[in-house]
Structure 1
Amino acid sequence: FIKPLMSPDATMREINAVNSENQKNILSDTWRINQLQKHLSAEGHPYHKFSTGNLETLEVLPKARSVDIRHELIKFYQENYSANLMHLVVYAKDTLDNIQSLVKNKFREIQNTDRSCLHFPGQPCTSEHLQILVKAVPIRQGHKLRILWPTTPCIRHYKEGPSYYLSHLIGHEGKGSLFYILKTMGWATSLYAGEADWTYEFAFFNVVIDLTDAGHEHVEDIVGLLFKYIDLLQQSGVCKWIFDELSAICETMFHYQDKIPPYDYVVNVASNMQFYPPDDWLVGSSLPSKFNPGMIQLVLDELNPNNVRIFWESTKFEGHTSMIEPWYGTAYSIEKITGSMIQFMGLQQWMETAPNEHLHLPAPNVFIPTDLSLKNVSEKAKFPVLLKTSSYSRLWYKPDTMFSIPKAYVIIDFSCPYSRNSPEAEVLTCIFTRLLMDYLNEYAYDAQIAGLYYWINSTDNGFQVTLVGYNHKLRILLERVVEKIAKFEVKPDRFSVIKEMVIKDYQNFKFQQPYQQALYYCSIILQDQSWPWNEELEVLPHLEADDLANFVPLMLSRTFLEYYVSGNIEPSEAESMIQHIEDAFYNSPQPISRALFPSQHLTNRVIELERGISYSYLAEGLNPSNENSAIVHYIQVHQDDFMLNVKLQLFALIGKQSAFHQLRSVEQLGYITELTQSSVFGIYGVHFFIQSTVKDPRHIDMRVEAFLKMFESKLYELAHDEFKRLVNALIDMKLEKHK
């Protein structure tokens, strides 16, 4: 901030780091479609530019034009780094006088050259960039539809919240919503709506829909339904009760929000200081409170067919496109949506031929909490206590003794031995949990909007249900989730959709980052009783709805339930919840489930690596287009032990920064370079994982070994005072209060 050197060597290192990051992103569909949207905008507008840079833009092209990039960097610094453009937030446990003194001491030398803030007037999309249909070829399997409109930036009207109001309605997932209809038709698996890429001068309102194979064949109907829903909003008018409901939800969420980590908090507030007046620095746009139907109507009017940009992504377009985006190489074609085109391409025709489904506005949200009082629990336990145990369950309980907020946290862990005894069982368990989420979605969506969340995930031993949020109506949601599990039925049409999604997830494994694949292979090799992804993919296409219908009763026939209940809940409430669950599974005349046999209480195991022997597992990259390679250098250290755990934590704390500095900053092996401590089923170790386009894995592995030898010497040479400082840093981390 004060006197940056920007030396030639440091500048070149940063150019290489930028290029390495770009190589990491080059096959990311998110980055690719984002740049394609920029590419199809006005060339003279800053929005059009390549947003991240690479070696070509920062080294090759400047040299070809005899441009000194370091000189340009210093010039950029001098033109933009001025004290009057900066905002500082300090988060500290100290007096304001001491903090002010510290700030003056550290920052007073920053020059104030009275620079003006950059502005980007004008719209990035002219008429030639509107009413377009763009077909693009993604990297990953699947289909996605993005409908965009340039709109009035809502940052200027943050208290009126026009985009928040519209995104709530267009993105709703309850009965009568656009997504509910698309899901019922079997055309979509997710839908997002909201403002994006906003500045003071321009913004876009996006609707992003993940399509099924059937949905890909009905894009015209889907776009027509979207515009029918927008027409419904026009006909219904702006509803004050909906705005008031959203405003009340925001008010509650703001006042009872979870503690934000200090690092994130100071970044958020510093960003807010750039956009909002002082009274709203801590709030930002979190509290829409002024009902302004005219402002909402203004943005709604902009969501019209004359203003639209449609981006349709599908691997089925491969070989049927005519253009290439220059920076990421995305293949695409572009067509104008006008009346002169083929008849079915007209937007009006799409609206007229769309299914005549019953779209309607959402009903009032029954999950909004009205009782936010705190429970008076007599015993303030610092640690979870075992409240109840039996042959088929264990209940752990801990009241809130720190945060004093009206929220609760419930975990129900279903241990099911039959859920993981074959690749087929593994896949069927996954489909089962995803179907449960699918069945519950339209009911539980209101709970999510009101701040009550749930997840159902498959685990190493079965599956797990998690509920977190305001405790007032948590029991209502819990009972519905339990009912869906206990009375599970397979709907063949939804089974087919979920199966299609799961198959694509497995097929897209090869498009994960190489370091992610390497971490997966390391895990699969070390863990006992795990099935490789390709075996699971092999069995998937042959599974049918009847297979799941036969499997679920078997999976649930023997279970052990472990509960964890914490937060603003009394012990009697926790026991009552658990009793309801056990009545549903164990206590009926024909129980769904019985307790596990003693031999079925299995412990997950990890393969023990013999000391003195190095093991290598080599895997060929699955994506020929990805130039990155990666290694995971894993060192297995010890079984769970209090003293050894702390020593390993200290090793990782000291080594993390040294490894990053040496292997990434100095040797520049790759943008993704990390040393982390790992714990797998009570077996502790450390991981180095590095992804690179400049060096092969064997060379990187040699450099990791060299680093370890160098680091060993560094540890022996560490001064006593420095060692104590690092020990105290670890102590401080452990004493830090939970957020």
Structure 2
Amino acid sequence: EMRDISRTNFEWRENGDPTDFCSNAAELLFDYPPHKILIASSQSDPYNDVIAKQFFERFSPDNCIISIVQPETDMDDNVKSEDSTTTTTTTTDDKNGPWQTEPWYGAKYREVNISDELKEKWSNPDQKIDERLSLPQLNDFITTDFSLRSEDEKIVVDKGENDVDYREIPPKLLSLENNMAGLTMWHKLDQTFKVPKSYIRLQITSPNAYRSPRSMTYARLFQKVLEDDLNSYVYDATVAGCYYKVFCTPSGFRINISGFSEKLPLLLDVVVSRVMSIIQEMKEENHAENSPLSLKFDKAVENLLRETKNFRMDSPYETATYLTRMLLEDNVWHVDNYITEMEGEYFDKNPLTLQECASVVDECLSERTLVQSLCMGNIDEDGVLGVAKVIEERFLSRSRPLTPEEFPRLRSLKTPTREEAIQIFGQDVASSPIPIVVEDVASSESEENHAVEVVLQAGAEYDLGFEGTAIIELIGHIAYNSAFNQLRTKEQLGYIVSAYIKKSAGGVSSLGVVVQSASTLPDVLEERVLNWLDIFRSELEEITPERYAMEAEAIVAQLLERNMRLSDEVASSWGEILSTDPSSKRFKDPQFTRVKTIAQVLTVDEPGEGSGSDVSDIKTSADLKKKVLNFYDKYFTRDAPQRRIMSSRVYGYSARSNYEANKEKVGILSNYDDTRELKRFLSVWPSAPYWI
């Protein structure tokens, strides 16, 4: 069985990253001759009963180490080992060391020898061996059918004299039987990569998942419980090359199924069936019984709470980007909202329960929903219709399609211009180069780094259009090297320095600069970033038109780079589908040629030849330079009329006094309550796509 799996994975291995291949091949050369490095990791040696016997002889109590890790450790020197019949106590003596503290993280640990009595019991058990401790059955997910649907005579397209690049053909929208309300199915049969693999993507959109911190917490808990529940069963599928993932997002739930085509319908049915059946079991569960499902739920709560708290311990630059998001995006929940749902006074009064979790998730999945799906790869239309039938039976049988007003939309807020900030805060912010500053301090006492993120909004993609979107991408491309050279190499402010194009909810584009430093305070970092923005403007002026054309050509090459694996093509097509609004007649169709159009804007020719773009009047490299400078002057320079700038500062723990000193200052938001109040003054950017 393992030999068959290894052979299958080798024969149908797809292209990977050349750098990773070279690195792995170099390591394999230590153990294998050059002519075997391609197959070495997939080749199985013949069975040898002598080696097998020697291997199993090493499975003995005298040859084992048991590691026990738990959040809270009983510091009693008596260590108890229990089973159903005896209790063995091992005390500290010459063989069993005392509790110690490891020097790096301060964790408590000790080493305890297993008693001879317990080792004898394990070696000669007086009870019947648990029936579950046995060799598994044959793996039902091992693929035996590797036929390609693209070679079906009814499907193969005659290329004729000119070869067709099927990667250029987008997925098509299928017409479904009975006009299944609330479901759109996209399909593309792979005729390029020729592998017997398929990908199924589901987006189950619901307005209920993100309606409150509690509902989002329940969605995340359900994800963890489901994953824990399915682990033992889908392990066989994973070994055989079939994979699944169920995860929640603010817009609902997503289900990803991928792997060898023959077994994918089985895995899809297993996953979606269990999704719905576990909801029913949770509704009927009595939490007080400490049943397996209750224990999984309690474990999920504990893990999610720990992960959420650990979010506060992120690096300062990551915290800074989070603070920015909390200000710029409308209707988002703060991390403290989630923690309140899982511990504290409110949690004690209204604890999380299995039954409520099941009700919330059931409402998200099967009451008011809209489902989008993409089936791509070695799957024909009949197979896609089979997937549609599963979706209809499991999710849509009780569902009512969403109305356009119910469709969840995350939108971004407009950072105030200088005049707008004066209207909000008064004349005290008139002289400040950045009228809005969000501040926080690192939670960890050992955190020595400071960080700042400066964000300058350009606008919504709808306002920028294809030309504006292309120009800001070019600015971000050039800015990265300039910022790194000035702030990192010359000024040596810190190891983390980056300039980039920041995307926020609703398709809003901004120029972002982030710096993290152990030696420079955030307000000084902020000044250096502002100084770099002036330097960068001068650099843009000095760059020749030919250099602009060369930089644009590099972006075009990235945009038009062909997908080398089926999974890459699936990811790009699925991304375009998810950017649509199926509830809207005008915004429901994906723009699969969007990237090509942006590339056309950045493709400049010699004077007189024309770029061929019908969405931009940029024809030459000189035109491109002029457009870039005008764009920068409009949105990013100090005196730009449309300059919308804000900054997020995070102080290292040792600089907490600086943070405290800035509290109550005009224009500085020192906690999320301040941010929440400011957001009430801000208007939103349009969320319509720019390609309509």
TM-score, normalised to structure 1's length?
A: 0.61
> Conserved in 1, the CA contact under 8 Å of 2:180 and 2:392?
no
Using the alignment, how far apart are the partners of 2:457 and 2:214 within structure 1? Answer: 31
- Taking a change above 3 Å as real, the CA distance of residues 694 and 289 of structure 1, as seen in their structure-2 partners, is farther
Query: Partner residue of 1:432?
Result: 222
- Taking a change above 3 Å as real, the CA distance of residues 706 and 286 of structure 1, as seen in their structure-2 partners, is farther
Query: Partner residue of 1:171?
Result: none
Q: Which stretch has the larger CA shift, 686-695 or 601-610?
A: 686-695
Code of the residue aligned with 1:361 in structure 2: it is: L
Query: Partner residue of 2:383?
Result: 573
- Taking a change above 3 Å as real, the CA distance of residues 315 and 514 of structure 1, as seen in their structure-2 partners, is farther
Q: Which residues of structure 2 form unaligned runs of 5+?
A: 77-97, 158-165, 283-292, 422-433, 565-692
- Taking a change above 3 Å as real, the CA distance of residues 735 and 325 of structure 1, as seen in their structure-2 partners, is same
Report how far residue 677 of structure 1 moved. 2.8
- Taking a change above 3 Å as real, the CA distance of residues 655 and 271 of structure 1, as seen in their structure-2 partners, is farther
Query: Partner residue of 1:602?
Result: 408
Report how far residue 499 of structure 1 moved. 2.0
Q: Does residue 292 of the first structure (1) align with residue 31 of the second (2)?
A: no
Query: Partner residue of 1:634?
Result: 455
Report how far residue 504 of structure 1 moved. 2.0
Q: Does residue 466 of the first structure (1) align with residue 256 of the second (2)?
A: yes
Query: Partner residue of 2:627?
Result: none
Query: Partner residue of 2:137?
Result: 363
Deviations 1:263-316 (A, max 9, x none): 222222233334421112334423334433444554554555444455544442
Using the alignment, how far apart are the partners of 1:657 and 1:304 within structure 2? Answer: 58
> Conserved in 2, the CA contact under 8 Å of 1:323 and 1:333?
yes
Which of 485, 491, 498 aligns to 1:661? It is: 485
Query: Partner residue of 2:499?
Result: 675
Code of the residue aligned with 1:600 in structure 2: it is: E
Using the alignment, how far apart are the partners of 1:727 and 1:272 within structure 2? Answer: 40
Which of 170, 173, 190 aligns to 1:386? It is: 173
Using the alignment, how far apart are the partners of 2:531 and 2:121 within structure 1? Answer: 67
Report how far residue 435 of structure 1 moved. 2.2
Using the alignment, how far apart are the partners of 1:284 and 1:650 within structure 2? Answer: 44
> Conserved in 1, the CA contact under 8 Å of 2:198 and 2:261?
yes
Report how far residue 419 of structure 1 moved. 1.5
Query: Partner residue of 2:362?
Result: 553
Using the alignment, how far apart are the partners of 2:487 and 2:127 within structure 1? Answer: 57
Q: Which residues of structure 1 form unaligned runs of 5+?
A: 1-244
> Conserved in 1, the CA contact under 8 Å of 2:206 and 2:408?
no
Report how far residue 584 of structure 1 moved. 2.9
> Conserved in 2, the CA contact under 8 Å of 1:638 and 1:644?
no
Q: Does residue 247 of the first structure (1) align with residue 71 of the second (2)?
A: no
Report how far residue 387 of structure 1 moved. 1.7
Secondary structure at the aligned position of 1:373 is classed as coil
Code of the residue aligned with 1:567 in structure 2: it is: G
Which of 195, 200, 209 aligns to 1:419? It is: 209
- Taking a change above 3 Å as real, the CA distance of residues 627 and 400 of structure 1, as seen in their structure-2 partners, is same
Report how far residue 552 of structure 1 moved. 3.0
Using the alignment, how far apart are the partners of 1:693 and 1:348 within structure 2? Answer: 56
Using the alignment, how far apart are the partners of 1:707 and 1:332 within structure 2? Answer: 47
Report how far residue 466 of structure 1 moved. 0.6
Using the alignment, how far apart are the partners of 1:689 and 1:299 within structure 2? Answer: 54
Q: Which stretch has the larger CA shift, 460-469 or 355-364?
A: 355-364
- Taking a change above 3 Å as real, the CA distance of residues 247 and 309 of structure 1, as seen in their structure-2 partners, is same
Task: Give matches, 1:220-619, under 5 Å.
Answer: 245-302=1-58, 304-317=60-73, 323-326=100-103, 328-337=104-113, 339=115, 357=130, 358-376=132-150, 377-378=155-156, 382-388=169-175, 391-487=181-277, 488-489=279-280, 490=282, 491-540=293-342, 541=347, 542-555=351-364, 556-587=366-397, 591=398, 593-612=399-418, 614=434, 615-619=436-440
- Taking a change above 3 Å as real, the CA distance of residues 723 and 390 of structure 1, as seen in their structure-2 partners, is same
Deviations 1:616-637 (A, max 9, x none): 2112212223223333333322
- Taking a change above 3 Å as real, the CA distance of residues 286 and 310 of structure 1, as seen in their structure-2 partners, is same
* Structure number with bigger Rg: 2
Q: Does residue 700 of the first structure (1) align with residue 506 of the second (2)?
A: no
Using the alignment, how far apart are the partners of 1:632 and 1:318 within structure 2? Answer: 44
Code of the residue aligned with 2:456 in structure 1: it is: I
> Conserved in 1, the CA contact under 8 Å of 2:297 and 2:354?
yes
Code of the residue aligned with 1:260 in structure 2: it is: G
Q: Does residue 646 of the first structure (1) align with residue 402 of the second (2)?
A: no
Deviations 1:670-707 (A, max 9, x none): 33333333323312224333333222222222222222
> Conserved in 1, the CA contact under 8 Å of 2:187 and 2:381?
yes
- Taking a change above 3 Å as real, the CA distance of residues 331 and 493 of structure 1, as seen in their structure-2 partners, is closer
Deviations 1:349-403 (A, max 9, x none): 6786999643122211110111111112446571122224754121122222332
Secondary structure at the aligned position of 2:499 is classed as strand
Report how far residue 332 of structure 1 moved. 3.6
Q: Which stretch has the larger CA shift, 596-605 or 414-423?
A: 596-605
Using the alignment, how far apart are the partners of 2:484 and 2:67 within structure 1? Answer: 39
> Conserved in 1, the CA contact under 8 Å of 2:102 and 2:109?
no
Secondary structure at the aligned position of 2:42 is classed as coil
Query: What's the % identity of the aligned pairs?
Result: 27
Using the alignment, how far apart are the partners of 2:460 and 2:245 within structure 1? Answer: 31
Using the alignment, how far apart are the partners of 2:560 and 2:149 within structure 1? Answer: 27
Deviations 1:541-594 (A, max 9, x none): 41111212332333331111011111111123212211221133334xxx2x22
Task: Give matches, 1:207-218, under 5 Å.
Answer: none
> Conserved in 1, the CA contact under 8 Å of 2:313 and 2:443?
yes
- Taking a change above 3 Å as real, the CA distance of residues 439 and 311 of structure 1, as seen in their structure-2 partners, is closer
Report how far residue 468 of structure 1 moved. 1.3
Code of the residue aligned with 1:248 in structure 2: it is: D
Using the alignment, how far apart are the partners of 2:492 and 2:49 within structure 1? Answer: 55
- Taking a change above 3 Å as real, the CA distance of residues 322 and 666 of structure 1, as seen in their structure-2 partners, is farther
Using the alignment, how far apart are the partners of 2:340 and 2:355 within structure 1? Answer: 18
Using the alignment, how far apart are the partners of 1:722 and 1:265 within structure 2? Answer: 33
> Conserved in 1, the CA contact under 8 Å of 2:6 and 2:42?
yes
Code of the residue aligned with 1:552 in structure 2: it is: V
Secondary structure at the aligned position of 1:597 is classed as coil
- Taking a change above 3 Å as real, the CA distance of residues 536 and 302 of structure 1, as seen in their structure-2 partners, is same
Code of the residue aligned with 1:509 in structure 2: it is: F
Specify which structure has the bigger relative contact order, considering alpha-carbon pairs within 8 angstroms and separated by 6 or more residues: 2
Code of the residue aligned with 2:196 in structure 1: it is: P
Code of the residue aligned with 2:202 in structure 1: it is: I
> Conserved in 2, the CA contact under 8 Å of 1:382 and 1:401?
no
> Conserved in 2, the CA contact under 8 Å of 1:371 and 1:472?
yes
- Taking a change above 3 Å as real, the CA distance of residues 319 and 629 of structure 1, as seen in their structure-2 partners, is farther
Deviations 1:634-681 (A, max 9, x none): 332232232222222222222223333333344333333333333233
Query: Partner residue of 2:578?
Result: none
Report how far residue 512 of structure 1 moved. 2.7
- Taking a change above 3 Å as real, the CA distance of residues 705 and 301 of structure 1, as seen in their structure-2 partners, is farther
- Taking a change above 3 Å as real, the CA distance of residues 356 and 656 of structure 1, as seen in their structure-2 partners, is farther
Secondary structure at the aligned position of 2:456 is classed as strand
Report how far residue 428 of structure 1 moved. 0.9
> Conserved in 1, the CA contact under 8 Å of 2:368 and 2:400?
yes
Query: Partner residue of 2:540?
Result: 715
Code of the residue aligned with 1:330 in structure 2: it is: G
Report how far residue 605 of structure 1 moved. 0.9
